[in-house]
Amino acid sequence: MLEPVDKIWMDGKLVPWAEANVHILTHSLHYGLAAFEGIRCYKGKSGSAIFRLQEHVDRLFDSAHIGMMEMPYDRKQISEAIVETVRANRLDACYIRPLVYIGYGAMGVHPGDNPIRVAVAAWRWGAYLGDEALANGMRARVSSFTRHHVNVSMTRGKISGYYVNSILAKREAKADGYDEAIMLDPEGYVAEGTGENIFIVRRGKIKTTPLTSILEGITRNSIIDMARERNISVTEERFTRDEMYLADEVFVTGTAAELTPVREIDNRRIGTGKPGPITLALQKAFFAIVRGEDPAHESWITRI
């Protein structure tokens, strides 16, 4: 259950949380065409900061462009709205959700000239997959649901309707007693989780799914850069589920999931069954960066 805060930014102004409403015939509610982002603000020793704000705003605009939704605001205005929302709610650490959606007007699959609306919400949110998973690793299963094909869903877009696929896979995994689902692409190679990118480590080298049928994760890109800075080999290459079983380490990344180790997949222990040394090193470095403790990556954070 979300813990309400004071304000949500809607179409250029802050409104009370309880009054941030839309009409029941809002087009995106019925047909799923909307673009969104997940962004985190972290509390550090010298104040709070938003992680990779500009990259998230750029991806929001890219997603809207893919969905043929013309943004009524520019990038600077949206960035300022995000910062304003965090400040207005006096949040030192939070999850931030910008949403671009098609408003009330015409119904039917074609939205006609319905207005494009924008909202920004923020709320307190801890570890997405739980503190236990973040510290000791999660249990995952390969889903019976297939991830998107590039000619079915344009996978560079973070589009709301695409996440029906994720919801079904997540429910299946949770019903079977797992923490998360791992999804394969239409050709049977490992794609991504329901909201995370996947990395495997074997013999000291990292491999991650290439940008074919997956979302280009901002945390994913950050981890790749961080690994290469430490002279750890990173290859973007397809891999199979059995190669994943044989990995020494597996971890997932995402704004919500941050960097979460995977200790077991399909009832097969991964490595020693505990987070491995590369996973732990990158996780520690990641949290130092987002909390503003790494001056080498100061450009990745926007201080509040």
301-303 vs 47-51, strand pairing mode: antiparallel
Describe the crossing of helices 75-88 and 53-66 by its angle, rounded to 10 degrees.
120
* Gap between the Cα atoms of 153 and 219, Å rounded: 22
Which of 7, 158, 170, 207 is labelled catalytic? 158
Q: If 0-12 CB within 10 Å is exposed, 13-18 middle and 19+ buried, where does residue 129 land?
A: buried
- Partner residues linked to 141 by β-bridges: 181
* DSSP type of residue 159: B
Phi–psi pair at 59, nearest 5 degrees: -70, -35
Map tokens 């450009």 to a residue: 299
Map tokens 């990173």 to a residue: 234
Q: If 0-12 CB within 10 Å is exposed, 13-18 middle and 19+ buried, where does residue 34 land?
A: buried
- Residue 172 DSSP SS3: helix
For the question of residue 7 being annotated catalytic, the response is no
Q: If 0-12 CB within 10 Å is exposed, 13-18 middle and 19+ buried, where does residue 68 land?
A: exposed
Return the active site residues. Answer: 158
